[in-house]
Amino acid sequence: MHGGLVLARGLLQVGFSAKTAEVRVFDLEGRLLRPPVRFKDERTGRSAIGGLALDGDRRLWVVDAAAGRLRTLSAFGREAGALDLTVASEERAPLLLGRVWGPVDVEVHGTSEAGWLALAGGGEQRHAVQVFTLEGAFLAALRSHGDGARAFRGVVALAARGPYLWVLEGAGRTVQVFREREFHFAFQLTTRTGETCEPRALAPLADGRLLLLTRAPEEALFLLEPSGRVLARLDAAGTLLEPLDVAWDESGRRVYVLDLGGLRVQVLNLEGRVLGTFATNGRVPREKKGGR
């Protein structure tokens, strides 16, 4: 199952999907605020949420990974437009640039007047992460490790705050950090036994620290220094199952983790104490077979 979550202005928006994609809006206590928005691509017969982002105009940007499209939903939950990511238009660059193959995530900054969005595609490709205006015009392609000839290795997620953009590589098991679209540095997380962790999602805090979800060799949530050095592990061992995304509420100092393949949200504090859990589909999710 695909899914993602975004938190802003006291609202938690959660997306999950099988064949039909669904976005639900909750308050920070887990109460559903309005009927869910559902969509299924007419061309492919299915939709799958690969990532969510909210811009300064309160529009929600949704990566439809199954259809290869970027959809926008208004503040009232109505679909406001869709961009086909597999076709290069005259407003974008030709050939590989201006297209995003196998879209997996999106990050958005600013408003329609002066904003940008970053899109990521999976697999091994040089132009896996590209930047566009909010109108869809191509701006730039990021260079993996600062090398234009080097491919990104299985990007799974993006995160952004201020001038920084974090690119999480699943196959490369690396987090690349970009500043003003230029490569800044990269880091990896390793276990005490020397295994390199596979990153799944990242949420930057206001003070520069980072929340990082991993899904291999084990599913866990870490608090990191900006450099990537581990400060603490926040989840009690075995409490996360199939984690997909993480978000941070600065006002309440709460951490929200979407897990069980998108079926529940766990709420923690920065000391790792679980404050509550709620189901994203309105029902109490059962732990899946094989869960710890």
**202's tokens:** 């990242």
Structure tokens at 90: 């005259």
Q: What is the structure's pLDDT at 292?
A: 41
Q: pLDDT tens digits for 228-259?
A: 999 999 998 778 999 999 999 998 899 999 99
Tell me the per-residue pLDDT of 32-45, one tens digit each, with 9 for 90 and over.
999 999 999 888 89
Cis peptide before 217 (omega within 30 of 0): yes
- Please give the pLDDT value at position 97: 67
Tokens of 56: 């300064």
CA-wise closest residue to 102 among 84, 120, 82: 120
Q: Are strands 138-141 and 155-161 parallel, antiparallel or unpaired?
A: unpaired
pLDDT tens by residue, 175-186: 999 999 999 999
**CA pair distance 241, 261, nearest whole angstrom:** 8
Round to whole Å and give the CA distance between 243 and 215: 7
- Confirm if 152 and 125 have CB atoms less than 8 A apart: yes
Q: How far apart are CA 260 and CA 28, in angstroms?
A: 19
Record the tokens describing residue 143, joined without a space.
């260079």
Question: For the chain, how are helix, strand and coil distributed in percent, rounded to 5?
Answer: 0, 50, 50
Q: Which residues contact 76 (CB under 8 A, 6 or more apart)?
A: none
Q: What is the pTM (predicted TM-score) of this model?
A: 0.92
How is residue 195 annotated by DSSP? P
Q: What is the pLDDT of residue 291?
A: 44
* Alpha carbon distances (Å) from 168 to 12, 78, 117, 134: 22, 30, 16, 22
**pLDDT at residue 91 in the model:** 46
Distance from the first to the final alpha carbon of the chain: 19
Low-confidence ranges of the chain (pLDDT < 70): 1, 86-98, 282-292
Instruction: In whole angstroms, give the CA distance from residue 142 to residue 130.
Output: 6
Residue 90: count other Cβ atoms within 10 Å of its Cβ: 8
Would you state the CATH architecture of domain 194-292?
6 Propeller (2.120)
Burial class (CB in 10 A: 0-12, 13-18, 19+), 46: middle
Residue at token pair 């690349």 = 176
